[in-house]
Amino acid sequence: MKDHMVDANFPKTADGRVYHLGTGSGDFANRIITVGSHPRARLLASFLNKNPAPLVIESERGFLTITGWYTPRVHPDEDGPPPSPTRLSIISIGMGFPNMDFFVREARECLPPSSDMLVVRFGSCGGIATTTSSSKGMGTGIGVGTVVVPASCVSIVRNVDYYGFGGEGGEDEVPYWISRPVQGDAGLREAVLEALEEDASPGGEPRAVVGTKINAAADGFYASQGRATGWPDANEGILAELERRGVESLEMETHQLFHLARAWNSAKGVQGKIRVAAAQMVFADRQTRAFIAPNDVKQKEAWAGRVLLDVMARFEVEEE
Ligand code: R1P
Ligand code: URA
């Protein structure tokens, strides 16, 4: 750790930079796309305007924040003056609930209290649904390459007391807890879903986008996502239970994002709101066991990432 931190409760450097993200006041735009990997963040950042050059902050804890200006593309049917550039941030946070927690709390701290904070998670996920309920009616499953835009999210947390204490399967213990669903921001989700579904870019390929009802975020990639790996995880029933509850996709961060936004927005005295949505590319089909090819990942990321930049730049939000 290079800098001396002050205030053990919410540690910051003397010049106000937060402990894990390494960002300070003014380093974040209030429109943020969060991703799980640096290459995905850098790909999105390649679409930002070059002048002025984006601000890039890589923290020693592995968070990469890139803030710059983005000029939205013009829809072919669009009249009126060309859209002006909007300031946006892209952050790569890595994986899991704790990293999403660091990001949301520390980025919020870097924004003015009165400013709304808009966050879209652009991630990957597994698809588990055999039937889907998109805005365009019932479908036949979520395959590899589909982009899902969930309205809500449950969490799946492993009950560690279940394992290794001799009482496995006892009446009082269940191996996993599944929470009730928490909603994201309906307006932001609608904008994301519509833009992805319509994708106005000329010459675009037909792309599968599904507005789903429920996503599940698990506290791991393996056990709590129902993967059979040879570990004694007591997770054989998870996928069936999730399907029974109407869950269509599985990943590792969206619940923490939706949960924190809901908690923040419903607290007394909060000024700027946190408005959240997620768009997730299906990398793994949990029914067929298919996994996405690297070239398809690059293509999907570039296409959906660009659409999300357009949405975030154009979305009407109260500015600070
Ligand atoms: C697991 O491979 C990771 O991929 C998914 C999961 O949520 C987890 O973080 O999302 P990202 O592609 O955004 O990281
Ligand atoms: N990310 C996950 O968390 N799970 C998957 O199955 C694929 C991507």
ipTM of the complex model: 0.99
| C-alpha distances in Å from residue 57, one per residue of 109, 202, 206 | 16, 34, 36
Predicted confidence at residue 131, as pLDDT, reads: 54
Predicted confidence at residue 209, as pLDDT, reads: 87
Q: Which two tokens stand for residue 19?
A: 């402990």
Length of the chain, please? 320
Alpha carbon 320 to its chain's center = 23
Distance CA(68)–CA(47), nearest Å, equals 10
Q: Ligand 2: does its nearest atom lie under 6 Å from the Cβ of 280?
A: no
Is residue 166 predicted with pLDDT exceeding 90? Answer: no
Residue range 87-134, pLDDT digits in tens: 999 999 999 999 999 999 999 999 999 999 999 999 999 999 765 544
Nearest CA to ligand 2 atom 3: 251
Q: Ligand 1: does its nearest atom lie under 6 Å from the Cβ of 36?
A: yes
Q: Which two tokens stand for residue 256?
A: 């923490």
Per the listing, tokens 């070239």 go with 295
Mean pLDDT of 176-196: 97
CA 37 / ligand 1 centre spacing (Å) = 8
List 86's β-bridge partners, or say none.
Answer: 70
Query: Which helix (H) or strand (E) segment is 101 a member of?
Result: helix 97-110
Atom of ligand 2 nearest to the CA of 218: 3
Helix axes 294-314, 38-45, angle to 10 degrees: 50
Largest CA distance in the chain: 70
212 and 142 Cβ atoms separated by less than 8 Å = yes
Question: To the nearest whole number, what is the mean pLDDT of the chain?
Answer: 91
Q: Which two tokens stand for residue 24?
A: 């300070």
Closest ligand relative to 256 C-alpha = 1
CA 84 / ligand 1 centre spacing (Å) = 32
Q: How confident is the model at residue 77 (pLDDT cuts 50, 70, 90)?
A: confident
Predicted confidence at residue 140, as pLDDT, reads: 53
CATH topology of domain 21-314: Rossmann fold (3.40.50)
Q: How confident is the model at residue 263 (pLDDT cuts 50, 70, 90)?
A: very high
CA 43 / ligand 2 centre spacing (Å) = 20
Mean pLDDT of 167-186: 87
Helix axes 254-265, 97-110, angle to 10 degrees: 40
Query: Which helix (H) or strand (E) segment is 288 a member of?
Result: none
**In the chain, what are the domain boundaries?**
21-314
Percent of all residues in the chain with a pLDDT value above 90, rounded to a whole number = 78
Nearest CA to ligand 1 atom 3: 95
Q: Ligand 1: does its nearest atom lie under 6 Å from the Cβ of 251?
A: yes
Q: Ligand 1: does its nearest atom lie under 6 Å from the Cβ of 150?
A: no
Q: How confident is the model at residue 215 (pLDDT cuts 50, 70, 90)?
A: very high
Is residue 206 predicted with pLDDT exceeding 60? Answer: no
Closest ligand relative to 97 C-alpha = 1
